[in-house]
Structure 1
Amino acid sequence: MRVPPRLAAAVDVVDPAPDARVLEVGCGRGVAAVLLVDRLPRGRYTGLDRSATATAATAARLAGRGTVHTTALAAFRPAPGTVDLALAINVNVFWTGAARAELAVLATALDAGGVLHLVYGSDGAAPRGDVADRLRDHLTAGGFAPTVTTPTRRGVRLLHVRAALGGGGPVRTPRSPG
């Protein structure tokens, strides 16, 4: 399996604990999922993607070592406090709009002390500078306390936003389905 440097770099930056309960938003075809699961000998992996083709590829790559759901994050209904670490790599919904519903789902899913990691980067150019301000504003409004860094890993410059609950803004709970 060819691993794009940006995905390996993102997983390196996040560096989940061996027993972490990880939720990956926008798991795509499962390349980062395999890297994550390899770091979780006692943990648990759950991946989400809107594409059935992508989730089928992820499930095949994981071969039973994780759970994959075909759904948008806003429609996902996790049990409260069941995630230690949520990760989204190059997922646009968090910076292109307020992502209120998506952040509410993550606020529900994250356990006390859980962390959301938003990572942006490409195998070529550096991340766009305006994205950090938008992410910071959206996360703060969603009740998260974001910290923004621009680390370089494996030769890839990343925009990494680490956000814990407790940013002082309103935490919105997801609506009941129906």
Structure 2
Amino acid sequence: MSRPRVPERILRAVEALDLAGDERVLELACGRGVAAELLLARHPRLTYLAVDRSAAAVAAAAARNAAAIAQGRLRTLCCPLEELGPDIAPEGPFDVVFAINVNLFWTTTTTAVAQSLADLMSPGARVWLFVEAPGGVGRAVGPALRSLDIPALTADASEAGGLTVVRATKRPG
């Protein structure tokens, strides 16, 4: 049985991450696990936590990536992003955190999620938020920048292939 075509936004995001291959990766709102499958196939030394608030999505991601789970390279977790923390995600601290089209980052101005992420990140860790507006046109991500611009993080935004890419890096120390 062939798999459905991978959406362009996921392919572009996976390419943009430019991983070295041995990072600890946290994917927020992993959906059906397509990005995890692509990244784990490309980088056999990654350690990966895929999180989604939907039990159905997490089950699909786990089924899609059963081999990586059996190898101990991937764990899937059903959890709201606001509840993530080191006690729930002992795989961290994470070197790379990313999300594709997660509206939480542009629909809220709270810093709760940003602080949770900061607590999960290693010094020098990178956060990548990929946002595609309807029709594939990139859009501004004002609240995301404000939410991530907490004392431990710095951020910049750029456009890449129809996606707005927000990169934030945790300052060492």
Q: Does 1:72 align with 2:80?
A: yes
Q: Partners in 1 of 2:116 and 2:123 — Cα distance?
A: 14
Deviation digits for residues 106-137 of structure 1 (CA, Å, limit 9, x no counterpart): 101111111111011268331223x2x33222
Q: Partners in 1 of 2:17 and 2:111 — Cα distance?
A: 23
Aligned to 1:40: 43
Q: Does 1:101 align with 2:112?
A: yes
Higher relative CO (CA 8 A, sep ≥ 6), structure 1 or 2?
A: 1
Q: TM-score scaled to structure 1, two decimals?
A: 0.82
Aligned to 1:145: 154
> SS of the residue aligned with 2:36?
helix
| Number of residue pairs aligned between Structure 1 and Structure 2 | 160
User: Between the two proteins, what is the percent identity of the paired residues?
Assistant: 39
Deviation digits for residues 143-164 of structure 1 (CA, Å, limit 9, x no counterpart): 4211111012xxxx11001101
Distance 1:67 1:80, change over 3 A: closer
> SS of the residue aligned with 1:150?
strand
- Preserved contact between residue 83 and residue 109 of structure 1 (Cα < 8 Å): yes
The alignment yields a C-alpha RMSD, in angstroms, of: 1.8
For structure 2, the residue ranges without an aligned partner over 5 or more in a row are 69-73
Q: Partners in 2 of 1:123 and 1:112 — Cα distance?
A: 34
Aligned to 2:33: 30
CA shift for structure 1 position 15:
2.0
For structure 1, the residue ranges without an aligned partner over 5 or more in a row are 167-178
Q: TM-score scaled to structure 2, two decimals?
A: 0.85
Distance 1:49 1:128, change over 3 A: same
> SS of the residue aligned with 1:124?
helix
Aligned to 1:118: 129
Q: Partners in 2 of 1:33 and 1:99 — Cα distance?
A: 28
Aligned to 2:71: none
